[in-house]
């Protein structure tokens, strides 16, 4: 096997401190809709891209996880970003390309990418941030 378990041990020694940091309560929690609708619409490449971008930007206080069907299947892939106060911003029709900007602007600098959010739904204009 080319990838060795020894390599894994090196990761453990190097990253132990960071791992503890990530579970602090100050960062963003990002969840991707991962029900049948989300997966069929392309949630997997979005999830993978989120991991890659969070890694390359070195954002140690961001966690990426999954959620079930959010109830708006036609807007999938859906990505929800929760901040430390549990306020939520919902991004819709997300693609790996959009992920790059969401990570760069929202997760790294705290600026919501308005044009990717669910600001206009069925003709109704809503605030992109939903209070937790």
Partner 1 sequence: MKELSLHILDITQNSIRAQAKLVRLVIIESLANNELTIIIEDDGCGIPADRLQNITDPFVTTRTTRRVGLGLSLFKAAAEACGGFFEISSTPGVGTKVVGTFMRDHIDRAPLGNMADTILTMVMSFGETDLNYEHDYNNQLFVFNTREIKEILDVESLNEPDILNWIREFVQEGLEEIMEENIYGKVLSRTKSDS
| Site for partner 1, rule CB under 8 A | 1-3, 5, 7-9, 11-12, 14-15, 18-19, 22, 32, 34-37, 39-40, 43-45, 47-48, 51-52, 54-55, 63-66, 68-71, 73
Rounded least distance, CB 126 to partner 1, Å: 19
Give me the phi and psi of 91, to 5 degrees please: -100, 135
Which residues, including other chains, have CB under 8 Å from residue 86's CB and lie 6 or more apart?
Answer: 132
Q: Is 88 left (phi over 0), alpha (psi -120 to 50) or beta?
A: beta
Q: Find the shortest distance in angstroms from Cβ 47 to partner 1.
A: 5
Nearer to partner 1, 21 or 115 (CB): 21
Q: CA-CA distance, 77 to 44, in Å (whole number)?
A: 9
Q: Select 43 or 89, whichever has its Cβ closest to partner 1.
A: 43
The closest of 81, 102, 99 to 90, measured between CA atoms, is 81
Structure tokens at 54: 């969070």
65, β-bridge pairs: 31
**Residue 10 or 115: which CB sits closer to partner 1?**
10
- With respect to partner 1, which residue has the nearer C-beta, 55 or 115? 55
CB of 35 to partner 1, least distance (A): 7
């Amino acid at each position: 096997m080319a990838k060795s378990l020894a390599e894994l041990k090196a990761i453990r020694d190097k990253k132990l401190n960071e791992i503890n940091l990530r579970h602090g309560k100050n960062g963003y929690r990002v969840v991707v809709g991962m029900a049948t609708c989300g997966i069929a619409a392309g949630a997997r490449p979005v999830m993978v891209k989120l991991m890659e971008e969070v890694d390359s930007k070195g954002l140690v206080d961001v966690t990426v996880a999954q959620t079930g069907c959010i109830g708006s299947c036609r807007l999938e892939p859906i990505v929800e970003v929760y901040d430390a106060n549990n306020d939520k911003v919902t991004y819709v029709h997300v693609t790996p390309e959009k992920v790059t900007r969401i990570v760069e602007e929202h997760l790294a600098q705290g600026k919501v990418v308005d044009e990717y959010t669910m600001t206009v739904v069925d003709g109704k204009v809503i605030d992109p941030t939903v209070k937790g």
